[in-house]
Each structure stands twice: as C-alpha cells, then as structure tokens.
Amino acid sequence: IEYILGDVNDDKKVDSVDYLLVKRSCFNTYTLSAEEQIRANVNKDAKIDSIDYVLIKRIVFGTYTAE
C-alpha cells in the first residue's frame, strides 16, 4: 500500500489537519483508525505520541523530511 508518512487523513498532503488529528489522539479526544495509525507513526516506533505530532508539524513547516 502506497501512502505518505505523516499524511494521517490520506488526502495526499501533510498539513495542519494531520498534526491536529495526532494531537487529538494524544489527548484521547480522537481515535485513529488502524490505517491512520500507520500513516501517523512517523518515527516508526509502533506507538503514536507527541514525538509523531512534533515530526508531522516539522514536515508541515518544512524542517523535517520523513523517510
């Protein structure tokens, strides 16, 4: 399956909506689907947390490139 790492909502771009979804997930106000979890796990440590949130935010601001 092709996907963009950090593109949580799978709209083919990493933007503020993606880091908002991860932020809400961290605060337990949104539950990521299994597919969203795969795309949100930017640091590939098998958990979605504040590190993924920060990395997605850095992708949006152009200071980090996910591999």
Of 46, 55, 51, 49, nearest in space to 7 by CA: 55
Q: What is the pTM of this model?
A: 0.92
Extract the tokens encoding 33.
Answer: 């689907």
In this model, does residue 1 exceed pLDDT 70? no
Q: What is the pLDDT of residue 67?
A: 77
Separation CA 12–CA 51 (nearest Å)? 21
* Cα 27 off chain centre by: 14
Residues of 21-47 as b/e, b for ≥16 C-beta within 10 angstroms? bbbebeeeeeebeeebbebbbbeeeee
**pLDDT digits over 2-38, tens only?**
999 999 999 999 999 999 999 999 999 999 999 999 9
